[in-house]
Structure 1
Amino acid sequence: MTETLNPAMTVLLTGFEPFDKDTVNPSWEVARALAGWTFEAQGRTARVHAVQLPCVFGAANDVLLRALDECRPQLVVCLGLAGSRTDITPERVAINVNDARIPDNAGAQPIDTPVAAEGPVAYWSTLPIKAIARDLRAAGVPASVSNTAGSFVCNHVFYALMHALAQQGDQARGGFVHLPLLPEQAARIPGAPSMALSTQVEGIQQLLRTALTVQADVLETGGKLH
């Protein structure tokens, strides 16, 4: 029997279904485009497994947790849409609150409820967020660190991911990344920023490479005044 010394690593990449009466969500389009993609990191092969999450409080976390259990990934990156942003933004922190400005796709609109009743106030991302932003910009893809993932289903999933990894003592890295609108979405909103799907896919490819190869994040400014 031949022993496999360097088994392939699994990357779990999630995106959301469309929401708020839209017909497309770039987070799922990017994840779907990268499903099955393989790349080299740390002398090993990594393969992307893509999962679509419903834009529904509770149900999204159920799908995510099942995927974690089935895939046992070494890296988990959840993608979401932030329609007002101009660049790809890895998130710094997930907070333990649901406060929905609009209803989710099931009509639920929780206000000031916890994601996890016994969970801490917040979790830090374990992705090297500043190195990611640096490497994306070096590759010609606009990127910056974000200090808020909001309080809708994106933050809900981000917090649930980090809570699950912490509760399981899992060594997998995990975090959340927001993406801009696609051009066809922005075309319906005068003045709205957008980014081509091909650029977003290229950016997430670089993000995954950096996330698996950079062990300690870089020390450089990523803060904002407001």
Structure 2
Amino acid sequence: MGSEGPPSVTIHVTGFKKFHGVPENPTETIVNNLKNYMNKKGFPKGLIIGSCSILETAGQGALDVLNNTLQSSIKGPESSNSGRIIWLHFGVNSGATRFALEHQAVNEATFRCPDEMGWKPQKVPIIPADGGVSHKRETTLPVEEITKALAAKGYEVMTSDDAGRFVCNYVYYHSLRFSQENETKSLFVHVPLFSTINEGTQMQFAASLLEISATRRVCFIELDQI
């Protein structure tokens, strides 16, 4: 049985459309091109891309697509292996100079500007049933380990404890809640603009992140059992 290797990992990926101040969202390009990029590069053994979805850059406006794709992941062929399903969300931070892997999301929607559907909440709990706006949910993936592995490949990357209070945090909080209820995994990654880190490097980064998530999955399973 040892020759079979670790079980496969199914990764579902999301990005966002344009929003205020960012007419061309790099995450839309990354996610739309990711499957073709990986096909040309070659998939590492044990990695399956389950879906690639683009969300509206809107809090409540993104939920229908997000919830449908989240639900489909636990109803499909991989549903019996939910512990090996990862939700990987990409969002842009227009002021960033490097990639950031987010440890957590906060139960607070405080939008600095209206989202793409005109909603501008202030100190509103994302999930009222979870309590107040200070409640946090954390990813169960080993963010520090993944970050170190990416840095070793030469990427400018850091960990972060603050995903903001805008749509990125809003989506991440919903995803983490879903993942914790259904024993899947979730991770949010902020990327810079293409004018800061070019498209080619960002595609390479996304591919490396997928590869690390697949090849190190056995470590994730062991961490779950501690």
Q: Same fold (TM over 0.5)?
A: yes
Structure 1 residues without counterparts, runs of 5 or longer: 184-193, 218-226
1:58-84, Cα deviation, whole Å (9 max, x unpaired)? 121221110111233711111101111
Aligned residue for 1:156? 170
Residue in structure 1 matched with residue 81 of structure 2 by the alignment: none
1:21 is displaced (CA, Å) by 4.5
What is the rounded CA distance, in whole Å, between the counterparts of 1:78 and 1:91 in structure 2? 10
Counterpart secondary structure, 1:149: coil
Letter in 2 for 1:149: A
CA RMSD of aligned residues (A): 2.2
Q: Is 2:127 the partner of 1:127?
A: no
- Counterparts of 2:121 and 2:210 in 1: how far apart (Å)? 32
Match of 1:147 among 127, 152, 161: 161
**TM-score, normalised with respect to structure 1:** 0.81
Aligned-partner SS, 2:159: coil
What's the counterpart of residue 82 of structure 2? none
* Percent of pairs with identical residues: 27
1:10, distance to aligned residue in structure 2 (A):
2.5
- 2:208 partner SS: helix
Q: Which has the larger helix fraction?
A: 2
Shift of 1:23: 2.3
Tell me the alpha carbon deviations over residues 99-152 of structure 1, each in whole angstroms, 9 at most, x when there is no partner. 000110011100000111112611112222112221222112110101100000
Higher RCO (CA < 8 A, seq sep 6+): 2
Give the TM-score of the pair, scaled to structure 2.
0.81
**Equivalent residue of 2:123, what SS?**
strand
Name 1:60's counterpart in structure 2.
62
Q: Deviations over 1:31-83 (max 9, x none)?
A: 11113636225xx2422521000011112122111011123371111110111
Contact kept, 8 Å, 1:131 with 1:210, in 2: the verdict is no
Instruction: Name the residue aligned to 1:196.
Output: 198
CA gap 1:122/1:29 in 2 versus in 1, 3 angstroms:
same
